[in-house]
Amino acid sequence: MSFADLTLPVVRPRYRGAFWRLYKGEVGISLRRRRNLALLAVLSAIPLMIGIAVYLSTPRAGDGPAFLGQITGNGLFLVFTALTVCIPVFLPLVVGVVSGDSIAGEAGSGTLRYLLTVPVTRTRLLVAKTLGVATFTALAVAVVAVVGLVTGAVLFGLGNVTLLSGDTVSLGTGLLRALGVSAYVMVALFGLAAGGMFISTLTENAIAAMATTIGLVMVSALLDAVPQLSAIHGVLLTHNWLGFGEFLRSNVDTAAVLRWSALHLAYAAVFLSLAWARLQSKDVTS
Amino acid sequence: MTTSPRSLRRRAAWSAPVLTAAAIGAATLLPSAASASPHPKLPAKTAAQLLAAVQSSDVSTLSGTIVETARLGLPSLPGTNSSAALTWQTLVSGTHTARVWFNGVDQQRLAVLGQLSESDVVHNGRNVWTYASDTQAVAHTLLPANAEKSAATSATKAENLQKYTPQGAAAAALQAITPSTQVAVDPTARVAGQPAYTLVLTPRDTRSTVRKVAIAIDATHNVPLRVQVFGAGAAPAFETAFTNISYQAPAASVFAFTPPSGAKVTNDVLGTAAQKKAADKLGTKIKTGTAKVSPTVVGTGWTSVLVLPASTAGSSPLSALTSGSTSSKGDSPTAVLSHLTTTLPSGDKLLSSALINVLLAKDGRVLVGAVSPSVLEQAAAGQPG
């Protein structure tokens, strides 16, 4: 029998509320960090700039990104235009920075080992971190949507919504559909956030983790653009990100939306289980 | 040396992602494998029985999703990939998805889906509406009251689009059945989840570029579910198929179309006195030879060749090629096509694809057919314009 087998089992006392405090701490830190606030400011500037630009010069129908021509008639379309513009680059950038920093940032600055001394297991730490990243991801999407909605309402007013199919629905239904669009984008980006967290467990260099996470998006988008690879397009990370357009058709194909969402969540499950395994087996020295 | 429990635990942790991935893989693959075998064994049927069943099919209500794929060997044309525009460019390259709703002869809706765009054709009684989300343009056609029963035939756009639905494409292909065709039935297909017979048409004439046409027909509802046209390659050069289908009557709201406020609406009324006058005028023009000469068809069956005289071809995008113009911009469809043409010894130009060959004759005529280039050349020589 080796000496290692004689080590006593580690008994961690369980304090009530420790997990909740950990989660609150995660969200609090990410919201106080100046870099993250700057990212949110950039995100909120995008719908604002599009709104002002459209206000100053009315675009013709069919110009620019999708829905741009409809903003002047209904400010709600600024939400959809802003999300369409933000989803390929700006939102993944924000998600990549926050998720890439989540573990590697702590390891790099030498605070991860102190975090592991609080009375929670590594699993719970990962769960708290994941929830923190998910919260920030949702917040980033919400910032784009809410600033878009407010800017659009102030500059152009709100009204009945013309769907992609040409049918018109009431403003209330339109707002519900905008909510569906935002929720879908949040779920889609959560798959990427989980990828960022896994990459973040692999290194102590937060910048490398962030860059790799954003690289993940670029590689996926690149593969998606090669027609010869059409066989694998359906399962690529970024392929269905613009699937939120489904919410703007008269007859929403819920089966398709659920299928795409399941794919995003499957990515999240695989990446998070990888992150968990890596964290369990990792020697935390810093 | 023994392995400590800690390092064992560490290694065991990695089984979690493996199990997660395996569970997801099983969840995606098992339902499709368990639902039914991909190759059902249906009772044998002759081609004649199958065609009769299709003719007598009483299905008048259905809704579903159609995916159309063209692999003609042409590069994807500019600006057509994610667009839902109803143009010829969108249908000759890449994959396109559409949803259809049918409720008898009086109510149909077709929606061509783009990523963040959609084009709709809604036929409801005497009204035919088209809407394109890209331009937000609405076109409204009021059909003549007395022709309500054959209304679908008057709606030109709806009719054009029907050629790309399995029903329309099957009807067109079945018309081509002549003694020139070998017909076989394969009772082992499954399309859109439905067991189906496949009618396989093989041209006997080897000069046709069409190797075979396969039409899958729903075994219980006798509705064509898939049409595949095979050229030289293993994958079909053109394919249109339902990916899911339901035979329940669609909700009435699907066919109720009100143009969005603020959209430009162009109105058209078919069957009015003014239109008849215009048609009569055109008739006299054609008789007196002042109108453009209409295209002619040379040959029969699979080796038919469509000949566009120089004057009508003059307005087509292909005409720029015959004059050898290189001034067009690099990203225009004309410029893309010009890279694909080869000049024949005779001086004519040939545009070759996996299914259709196009001969651009020196004299400005354009010959189109699903035939080998030599047939086109013969047709060009035999019918001087």
A257 located within any domain: yes
Least confident of B97-101, B164-168, B199-203: B164-168
Could you tell me which chain A residue has the CA closest to the CA of B131?
A: A166
Residues of chain B in contact with residue A242, where contact means CB-CB under 8 angstroms, are 115-116
pLDDT in tens, A3-24: 445 555 555 555 667 788 888 9
Q: Which two tokens stand for residue B145?
A: 């009251």
Q: Average of pLDDT values for A270-281?
A: 92
- Supply the pLDDT for residue B79: 46
* Domain annotation covers residue A143: yes
pLDDT at A138: 97
Residue A205 to residues A17, A125, A283, B381, Cα–Cα distance (Å): 31, 19, 15, 73
pLDDT-above-70 percentage for chain A: 92
Q: How far apart are CA B42 and CA B190, in angstroms?
A: 11
CATH architecture, range B47-266? Clam (2.50)
Count the neighbouring beta carbons within 10 Å of the beta carbon of residue A63: 10
CB pairs under 8 A between A and B: 97
Q: Determine, for residues B116 and A67 on separate chains, whether the beta-carbon distance falls below 8 Å.
A: yes
Q: What is the mean pLDDT of chain B?
A: 76
Tell me if A9 is assigned to some domain. Answer: no
> Is it the case that residue B319 has pLDDT exceeding 80?
no
Q: Is the pLDDT of residue B385 over 50?
A: no
Contacts of A277 in chain B (CB under 8 A): 13-17
State mean pLDDT over B49-73: 83
- Give percent of chain B above pLDDT 70: 68
For residue range A98-122, what is the model confidence (pLDDT) as tens digits?
A: 999 999 988 888 888 777 777 678 8
Rg (CA), chain A: 21
pLDDT band at residue A269 using 50, 70 and 90 as cut-offs: very high
Q: What is the pLDDT of residues B347-368, one digit of tens each?
A: 788 888 888 888 888 888 888 8
Q: For residue B100, which residues of chain A lie inside 8 Å, CB to CB?
A: none
- The answer to the question of residue A6 being in a domain is no
User: A154 with A239: CB under 8 angstroms?
Assistant: no
- What chain B residue is nearest to A240 in terms of C-alpha separation? B115
* Interchain proximity A281–B13, CB inside 8 Å: yes
Residue A196 has pLDDT above 90, yes or no: yes
Rounded to a whole number of angstroms, the distance from the CA of A184 to the nearest CA of chain B is 14
For an interface test with A, the pick among B8, B116, B131 (most A C-beta atoms closer than 10 Å) comes out as B116
Q: What is the mean pLDDT of residues A237-263?
A: 93
Q: Choose among B11, B15, B120: nearest Cβ to A166.
A: B120
Say how far apart CA B98 and CA B109 lie, in whole Å: 10
Which uninterrupted H or E stretch holds B260? Answer: none
Lowest-pLDDT range of A31-45, A263-277, B293-307: B293-307
Interface check for A247 against chain B (CB to CB < 8 A): the answer is no
pLDDT at site B86: 57
Is the pLDDT score of B325 beyond 70?
Answer: no
Residue B326 scores a pLDDT above 50: no
Residue B288: pLDDT above 60?
no
Q: How far apart are the first and last CA of chain A?
A: 31
Give the pLDDT confidence of B176-191 residue by residue, as tens digits. 665 678 888 888 888 9
Q: Which residue has the tokens 């579910």?
A: B225
Residue range(s) defining the domain that contains residue A162: 15-281
Tell me what pLDDT residue B81 has: 46
What is the least distance, in Å, from the CA of A47 to any CA of chain B?
18
Both tokens of B208, joined, read: 């046709």
Q: Where are the domains of chain B?
A: 47-266, 291-382
Q: Does the CB of B261 have a partner CB in chain A at under 8 Å?
A: yes
Which residues on A lie below 8 Å from B131 (Cβ)? Answer: 165-166
Residue A131 lies in a domain: yes
pLDDT tens for A52-67 read: 999 998 777 667 787 8
Q: Is residue A194 part of a domain?
A: yes
Q: Which residues make Cβ contacts (< 8 Å) with residue B281, sequence separation at least 6?
A: none
Q: ipTM value of the model?
A: 0.81
Cβ–Cβ under 8 Å, residues B180 and B342: no
